[in-house]
Amino acid sequence: MEKTLVIIKPGAIQRALIGEVIKRFEQKGLQVCGIKMLQLTDEILNDHYAHLADKPFFGRIKVAMKAIPVIVCCLAGKDAVEVVHHMAGATNGRKAAFGTIRGDLSMSVQWNIIHTSDTVETAKVELDRFFNPDEVFDYKLPNLEFIYSDEELD
């Protein structure tokens, strides 16, 4: 199964939305393969958000992401990267579709609940950034035949 990264951001943690966010992914049929809380540093954030380093809001992102610890999750499932990214919704919570995590739980661009990997390649890089190999687990869910058809499990 494909794996992807989710970061539950400080705003979601402050609003006691950890369980709600994880619940949505589990109800969809995604599998939690790794989860931990950690305090982000400038070093990690400079690497993680390098593509935004020249933007005027980069400093604000770093301050927000270091406000309190975050929760990083490794989720697995068929087409997990695409599914999770779609479930997150548009970056701006006010513009995100209802039914998405951001569309239902966010009113902000900055405090937009979660980060998700946007491509399979990015997911691999991001998972390596936040997880050691011994922190990600492969195990079989007992109800896979009720989540996927036989052909999807091949």
* Strand 31-38 to 70-77 pairing: antiparallel
Q: Write b or e for each residue in 34-44: b if 16 or more Cβ atoms lie within 10 A of its Cβ, otherwise e.
A: bbeeeebeeeb
Question: Which residue is it, tokens 């052909």?
Answer: 151
Burial of 124 (0-12, 13-18, 19+ CB in 10 A): middle
Q: How far apart are CA 33 and CA 48, in angstroms?
A: 21
Phi then psi dihedrals of residue 88, to 5 deg: -65, -40
- Is 86 a known active-site residue? no
Select which of 48, 51, 86, 115 is catalytic: 115
Which residues belong to the active site? 115
